[in-house]
Amino acid sequence: MSDDNVKMAVKTRSARMYVLWAIALTLLLSTGALCWLVVVPVWQVRPHLAELAKWDNFTKGRDSFGYGAALDGTVRDLGGPALASRRVARYLKHPQWIAPYRGEAYHVLMECGESGEAVLRELTKHGRPGERRYAADTLKTMRGLKESQR
């Protein structure tokens, strides 16, 4: 094999190698972006909502103070009302099979106050039909609670 053939083979191989490296890095970046945009929000919120889901309706009614304390703790653990409402809003954008604890998410939004109310108003405009109805019912409940406290 002559020197020219060897140089041509090395040149072709290195160009092909650069293309393969570019594809590999693009796939790596895409996977990282997917994890950051989908997995991380669910990963942050889901364990807290699963803990709230352990309270069945009978226990909530019998120990509403304990459930309220659990809600307060969840909002605090998620970073306060403003950050918790943003995290829960991202959680609710995912389908049911990824984000199953929707009822508890709405309870957390109610606990977030005005920032949760803003998220609920946004969901009544742009959410899926079932989500819009649930968000509207939650807003009505929040307004009723506000009026009863006056």
pTM for this structure? 0.74
Rounded Cα–Cα distance for residues 62 and 147 (Å) = 24
Q: Which pLDDT belongs to residue 22?
A: 93
Q: Which amino acid is at 118?
A: A
Over residues 5-60, the pLDDT tens digits come to 666 655 666 778 888 899 999 999 999 998 888 788 888 899 999 988 887 766 66
C-alpha triplet 51, 137, 67: angle, nearest 5°: 25
- Positive or negative, the CA dihedral 8, 9, 10, 12 is positive
